[in-house]
Amino acid sequence: MAVLVGKQAPWFKADAVINGNDMVENFSLDQFIGKRHVLFFFYPMDFTFVCPTELIAFQDAIAAFEERNVAIIGCSTDSKFSHWAWLNTPRNQGGIKGVTFPIVSDLAKTISKNFDVLAGEYVENEDGELEFEGEPVAYRGLFLLDKQGIVRHQVVNDMPLGRSIDEALRIVDALQFFEENGEVCPANWHKGEKAITATTDGIADYLAHRD
């Protein structure tokens, strides 16, 4: 699996559903360059089991991400029509009505492939015909982009394993703290806690004053 940290996020333009109801064409992460951090995450499929818990959890925390000027963007290999239907289905019927952040359609599976989270690949059989090995959906990949569109953090979960939104917020706080202060963030660091000056004396001071 590719490590994209430190690299420009793969470019794309794709259909998406925004504001929970509006279908748009040519949605791109380029619109956030120079303006916002981006948390771009993949999930396997609409109308499933773990996936709605994650999207609803991101929505429940949307105010916290907005306070940090972070755009939340979801993506799966479903069509924009499937996204729209799921977004307009009540939660007590398996839907995610009320989710407002954009959800990108990767129907061609090229975005998942370029971010290297596609859970399978096309191969040529002995007759020279294309077949797909694995599952034609995305793993639970999550990528934090800085304002220049550089990937600064990534994590990929297998399909049965839901992600921690609290951890995503913690990583956002750590990146923004580093960008603003130049200090690095130790293990289990949370906003408001002591960080480390990246020098020998800095780490010695931090370790000496740990609780």
Tally Cβ neighbours within 10 Å of residue 49.
Answer: 12
pLDDT at 197: 86
**Residue 3 included in any domain:** no
Tokens of 153: 């953090």
* Antiparallel, parallel or unpaired: β 130-138 and 14-18: unpaired
Which residues is 72 bridged to in the sheet? 39
Quick one: how far is CA 75 from the chain centroid? Answer: 8
- The tally of domains found in the chain comes to 2
**In the annotation, is 51 catalytic?**
yes
Give the residue numbers spanning the domain of 190. Answer: 164-211
pLDDT at 206: 56
Residues 34 and 21 in one domain: yes
51, 55, 142, 168: which one is catalytic? 51
82, 47 Cβ separation under 8 angstroms: yes
**Residue 20 included in any domain:** yes
Query: Quick one: CA torsion of 151, 137, 15, 156, rounded to 10 degrees?
Result: -20
Residues 176 and 154 in one domain: no
**pLDDT band per the 50, 70, 90 thresholds, residue 198:** confident
**Residue 8 included in any domain:** no
**pLDDT band per the 50, 70, 90 thresholds, residue 204:** low
**pLDDT band per the 50, 70, 90 thresholds, residue 167:** very high
